[in-house]
Each structure stands twice: as C-alpha cells, then as structure tokens.
Structure 1
Amino acid sequence: MPFERIQLALAERQQQDLLRQTVIVEAMQGASLQIQGKWYLNFSGNDYLGMSQHPKVMSAFAQALPAGAGASPVVTGFSQHHQALCDYLCQLTGQESAMLFSSGFAANYAVCKTLMGEPESLILADKLSHASLIDGAMSAEATLKRFKHNDTVHLQKLLSSASRQGVKDILVVSEGVFSMDGDKAPLSALLNLTQSHNSWLMLDNAHSIGVLGPEQFSIAANGSRHKPQIVMATFGKAVGTGGAFVAGSKTLISFLQNFARHYVYSTAFSAAHAHATLTSLKTMDAEPQRLAQLQSNIAAFKTACKQNDIVVADSDTAIQPVIIGSPGATMHISQILQQQGFWVTGIRYPTVPKNSDRLRITLSALHNENQISAMVTCLANALHEVNGAVLQC
C-alpha cells in the first residue's frame, strides 16, 4: 500500500504522547482566547506586548491598499510602505540595509543556504538554534558544526581549529532570546570571538525584538558600537503582525535580493501588512509602559513560583519554561490547567531534547498580577497531583 508509513508514523507519535494537533482560536480579547466556545487565559502566545490587539495596529491594516502585494518584491510587490518599514528597521538595528520575508523560517533558511553556498565555508550554530537555522544550514554547501549552548569556550575551540585549517568564510549563528528556554545569548562575548577570528555573526532576534533594549542589536565598547554582521527578527511575536526581516550591509542585502530563492520567488506580503508593522514598531517605542508592564509581570510570575516551590528556568524574559521531563506528564498537567481555564501548552520532543518536555509559559503585558497568581496556584496543585498528592484549584 503506497505511503503506509504515514499512518504508522502518526500512530507511533500518538503512542509516545508526542502527536501535535492544531486548535482553532475563535476569538481573542485581552489576555484571553476562546477555543470551542470556552474562554481561557492565554499563557502560551508570543504576543509579549499585546500589540496584535492595539487599535492603532488594527486600524493601520485598513489604511494602506491594496490588500495583497500581487507579485514578488523584485517584480512589482515592493511598495513605498515596504521601503518605509525597511528604512525604520535600519534605524532600529543600526544596519545599512534591510529586506523583508514572509516568515522567519524563510528568512533564516534563505540566509544560511544562500550565503553559505561554498563547500569550503563553515557554519557554527548554537546547539539550541531554531529549526529554521539548522535546516537552512543543513541545506547549504557549507559544513555545519554545533557548539554547546551558550558555551563560548567551546565556540572558541571550534573557531581556532577552523582558523588553523584556513577556513575563509565562517558564520556563527545564535539567538537573542532562545525560544524554548528563554535565556539570552552572550552577545558581547560572541562579538569579541567573531571579530578576533575574522568571522561573521548572525543573530536571530525573533523573541527579543521589542522586549529587550538596544543591546539586542549591538554592544557599546570603547566609545563605539559593535554589531553582528547579520540581524534577523520576526514581526509575529512582540510586534504583533507577521513576517520577518534581515538586516546587514548594503552589499549583503543586495546579494540576498539577487540570489536568495525564498525572496526572489515568493510574493511579498502586502503594503497594508508593512504599514501595520511599521505602525506597531513606532507605537511600541512611543508606549514604553507596555514593556514596563511585561517586566513587572515576569517578576510577579517568578515570585509566585518561588512562593509555591515551583522550579523555573534561569530566564528573565517573557519565556518561562517549567521542565517536567516526560511527554505524558507534561500533557496531563497542561490538560489540568486547561480544565481550570488556563491555556498552557506542553512542548515535547523533538521540539525540545528528550527528557526535557516542558510547559512553555509565556507572559504578556496584557496579563495582570491576579491572573498570574491564579495560574501559578493551579500549576502548583497540578504538579502535586502528578506527584500523587491530589489537591483542588
């Protein structure tokens, strides 16, 4: 029977408590979402500042027409609204030029595959780099090696070895904030290492744009600012819209615009989308109280966890994972929380390494302290239940 392996693979995932399924979100209001007619407090989204529901952002979608770009950006799909967004991104990142992609996955994949197209080149990627970076690197002609997570000593050994071997083009890849652990890359150390070994640094800022300060794009040192050669970030998280950008030198961006197939052969996202994204970025800058509220909520969550003896990861960002360790227990706790009105998604292998299955709890500026406290109380009780002590929320 043709493709029988498809059903077998799904059955195996189901048996291992690893089967993924989509859910239909029927409505969103503030920090809540509606699924199958029931409202839940959302602790799983990436809308860290609540910008997807901001009136200015929603209004901006209707202000720039047409609704669709209608063509690739290298044909007729690139408008004045796209250019205005790119100009602002250059100011934000301190880079010379920028280009837009329909998704972060496409952006990361395109950069790795296109830039690292020579067999003599080398990609050194953090062990916990996003799947889009790893897949793009694996598709490139370059050799791919992975260094231990945030381990600059290991990275230095790999760079030194590559230098001794005469490798000319070396790209180091890391993330501003790691999507599953919530910790940050040691940007200053990475910049020092890449500069001293004549290599480039690419930083994926998907989960840091809008929620970290200027240090997410560059580091001040000796009276000047040192920055990665390549910056990527998405708009579908803190910015609240969708798509992504890559920023760098004019030469780099021109090279990608000419040779990156994900860019050349994809229809651009709409002018309305570009205008809404720029509106969101400017509004975020004009309303710093949103970031202040998010930081307050992160602190409230960590304090509540400490009071309830819940061990959380060493993260000071909006991503606060609670490691459970098995897929079955993870999903059981997630279901208990859902029954009590809290949407907390379980993340399992292969998204995270085996035996590190977790609840990936995310905070937003839309939450308040009472909501956070109530969720943490239910989480503590659910953890007790899984360990055999049945309590009630």
Structure 2
Amino acid sequence: MSEALQQFLKKNVTALREHGLYNEIDTVETPNGPVIKMNGKEQINLSSNNYLGLATDERLKEAAITAVKEWGVGAGAVRTINGTLTLHDKLEETLAHFKGTEAAISFQSGFNCNMAAISAVMNKHDAILSDELNHASIIDGCRLSRATIIRYNHSDMDDLRKKAKEAKESGNYSKIMIITDGVFSMDGDIAKLSDIMEIAKEFDLITYVDDAHGSGVLGKGAGTVKHFGLEKEIDFQIGTLSKAIGVVGGYVAGKKLVVDWLKVSSRPFLFSTAVTPADAAAATQAIEVLMESTELCERLWENARYLQDGLRSLGFDVGKSETPITPCIIGEEKTTQQFSRRLFEEGIYAKSIVFPTVPKGTGRVRNMPTAVHTKAMLDRAIAVYEKVGKELGVI
C-alpha cells in the first residue's frame, strides 16, 4: 500500500470513530426475518427493509428454486445480446400492470435505475429540480447527467414553484426535470405529489418519482404514485425490488416511449448482465402476491401504528412519519450510537443512523416494523425502549 493512501485511510477512519460516525457492519447468521441471530444471540429485527416479509416467503422461494432448475443460475449475457429471458419479459409485463403504466424496464438494482434513467434523458443543456433530501442514488444520477442541479427545500412547494419559474424563464435549459423520492427513507414522510404535478404542468416539467420505500406500502401496495392517483401522469416511476418486494433489482415504469428509449440508451442496462433467473421469477411472484391480496400491506400498517403509538406514549420523538418508517430521534451522534448498542444488548436490533446519512444533531434509531412481526415482539421492543430511554436520559 502506498504511504499516501495509508495515511489518508488512517486519518479519516480514526476521525469517523472519534466522532461516533463510523458505521460498523453487522453480520446476520439467519434468514432476514422478524427475528434474527447475530453474534450467536437472537434479536428482534427492526432494521430490515423487508416490509412484507416476502424475502423469506415460501412462495417466492419455490419460484426461485423452480427457475434455477429450469433456467440455471445466471442470465448469461447483457439484455441487449441474449440475456433477455422470457422470465425478464414476464417480470416487466407484471411490473407495468402493477404500476398502472404502459411499460416497464428492469435493472440490477434500484441504485442502477437512478444512474441509468436520469443520465439517459438529461444532459448538460438541461436542469434538474431535486428535493434536498433525495436519496444518494438520485444525487449521483443527477451528477452523472451533467445537468444543472437546482436543489429546492424539502417538500417546500413555494420554493419549488419559485425555482421552477426561474429556471423556465431563464431560457437556459432545453428540458427541466423535477425529481423526488415518493417516501423519504429517514423521516418516513410522503412527497406532495399532487402539488408537484400541478407545478410540473404549469412549467412543462418532466416528472420523476423514486418510490423505493412506497412500493408495496402505499396505494394498497402499488406505491406512492398510485396513492395519489397519478400513475397515468408521472413520467418516470422508479422502484426497487429489494425492499417490500423482497428480492433484488429495480425498475422504471412509464410510457412505452420512455421505456423504449431507456432500452437503447441507459448504460447499466446496456453493459450489465441481466438479473438472475431466480431473482426475476421470485420478484414476479412477489408482485403477483401483492396484486392478489392487500392482506400483507394491511398487516404492515397495523404493526407500524402499534409500534409508533407505543413509542410516542413513552415520550419518544418519532418525528412526522406518515409511513411505517419509524425514526426514534435521539439527536447527538454518540448518544444515538450508544442507544442502539444498548438496544442490541437487550435483544432489539435497531440500527442507528447518523451524519452524513442525516444532518448533524439529528441522529436517530430507525425502526422498520414489518407485516410479519407479532404483537408480542413489538411489545418486547417497546419495553426495551422504555428501559434504555430512561437509562440514558432520553425520556
């Protein structure tokens, strides 16, 4: 290792540790369900994005096993050569039906979607209006496009309208896009899509919604765009297959013309091998489960409200979440890390989230209740929160 690299790494890793910002990676020794084992100890799991429990669902496992036996373990090529299997076509057809759009295109991850779609449509002659709390993958996708990035205050429609008007009237840009998360993952609030659509129509803006945390959760499972009844109007619906869907991958849903363009211009689609047969089959099965019944979605919301009410009644600050995402805001980074460690010692796995993922001074322990948690599990979690909260003087 070069001396310069070694000094750089040591200096920065040490600084992160000293300020309570170094993120320790934990290894899970069991399937990622409502209860997991870590370091040989069982933990009630409140840190998974497996909202509906589908990651370990028997129907999905059977679909994946069948696909492996019939199709093998890999697609064998990029989609544009001979890596497009009938399994991928079926996944995309099912996604389009699920999202209420003309077509859909699948990618290897949700992160890839934002890297692919934004840069395929926007360029240095364009501008992007981006919510200041958008996900890192949106930020990186915007940077890759080389478009002018104009950040607007989080969910502030007055600020958005002002900046949209300025960008439009400047005459400097060929196209202008507005990008927002559907559900913001750190606070659990929902984008004001109806207002955003109104502004988009006023100034002829391209609309782009990343619904990673909304699909399977809002709109009876179909997502945030469906929740607002805008599936025929939003230009780009982006989603992941790794959260509520329980598998891996991502997708863009919209007009057929949008999808046709992405299939010939989005670089991750053109230059990456397709998702495995097992993943395509399992994701399709998950979406079919959601289209057949809203039971899992309803159970998720019931558990989320139960946990949130329990924490609020103890005096915890759970922010202004409008979704099952339940941040327990502690504030100072080291205290937040300590709080999470004490929960772990008591058998509750709820990961601390600190700067730079969230602004300094707003550290929180983020809880992700799922459809497969039992009331007994949630009661245990609430009891431990009370114990640790009093011990550390948080409540």
TM-score by length of 2: 0.94
Q: Residues of 1 paired with 2:197 and 2:225: CA distance?
A: 11
2:334 & 2:128 partners in 1: Cα distance?
36
Which residue number in structure 2 is paired with residue 312 of structure 1? 318
Per-residue CA deviations over 1:116-164 (Å, capped at 9, x if unaligned) read: 12x2200111111000000111222210011111111110001111111
Q: Which aligned pairs between 1:64-75 and structure 2 lie closer than 5 A?
A: 64=67, 65-75=71-81
Distance apart, 1:98 and its partner CA: 1.3
- Paired residue type of 1:191: M
Residue 150 of structure 2 aligns with which residue? 145
Q: 1:47-126, aligned counterparts within 5 Å?
A: 47-64=50-67, 65-117=71-123, 119-126=124-131
Q: Offset at 1:311?
A: 1.8
Is the CA contact 2:33–2:45 (under 8 Å) kept in the aligned structure 1? no
DSSP-derived class of the 1:22 partner: coil
2:278 is aligned with 1:275:
no
Could you tell me how far apart the structure 2 residues matched to 1:344 and 1:274 are? 30
Comparing 248-257 and 94-103, the one that deviates more:
248-257
Q: 1:127 aligns with which of 127, 132, 135?
A: 132
Q: Which residue of 2 aligns with 1:43?
A: 46
225-234 vs 9-18, which moves further: 225-234
- Asked if 1:33 corresponds to 2:43, the answer is no
Quick one: structure 1 residues 129 and 29, their matched pair in 2 at CA, closer, same or farther if it must change by over 3 Å?
A: closer
1:251 alignment partner in structure 2: 257
Report what 2:368 is aligned to: 362
Residue type matched to 1:48 in 2? Answer: Y
SS in 2 for 1:377: helix
Partner residue, 2:185: 179
In structure 1, distance between residues paired with 2:22 and 2:376: 33
- 2:342 aligned partner, one-letter code: I
Could you give the per-residue CA deviations for residues 156-208 of structure 1, whole angstroms, max 9, x where no partner exists? 00111111112330110011111111110011111111111101110001001
Rounded to whole Å, the distance in 1 between the matches of 2:41 and 2:246 is 23
State the distance in 2 between where 1:322 and 1:146 align: 27
Identity of aligned residues (%): 29
* Worse-matched range after superposition: 156-165 or 297-306: 297-306
Q: Is the 8 A contact 1:217 1:228 kept in 2?
A: yes
User: CA distance change for structure 1 residues 29 and 124 in 2, over 3 Å: closer, same or farther?
Assistant: closer
SS at match of 1:13: helix
1:9 has 2:12 as partner: yes
Equivalences for residues 229-244 of structure 1 within 5 A: 229-244=235-250
Across the aligned residues of Structure 1 and Structure 2, the Cα RMSD in angstroms comes to 1.7
State the 1:103 CA deviation.
0.9
- 1:93 Cα shift? 1.7
Q: Does residue 159 in structure 1 map to residue 164 in structure 2?
A: yes
Higher helix proportion: 2
| CA contact 1:188–1:219 (8 Å) conserved in 2 | no
Amino acid at match of 1:137: C
Q: How far 1:227 sits from its partner (Å)?
A: 2.5
Specify the SS of the correspondent of 1:240: coil
Is it true that 1:207 corresponds to 2:249 in the alignment?
Answer: no
Aligned residues: 386
Q: 1:269 to 1:323 in 2, by over 3 A?
A: same
Confirm whether residue 324 of structure 1 aligns to residue 308 of structure 2: no
Distance in 1 (alpha carbons) for counterparts of 2:25 and 2:37: 14
* Alpha carbons 1:327, 1:357 under 8 Å: kept: yes
Distance in 1, matches of 2:227 and 2:393, equals 45
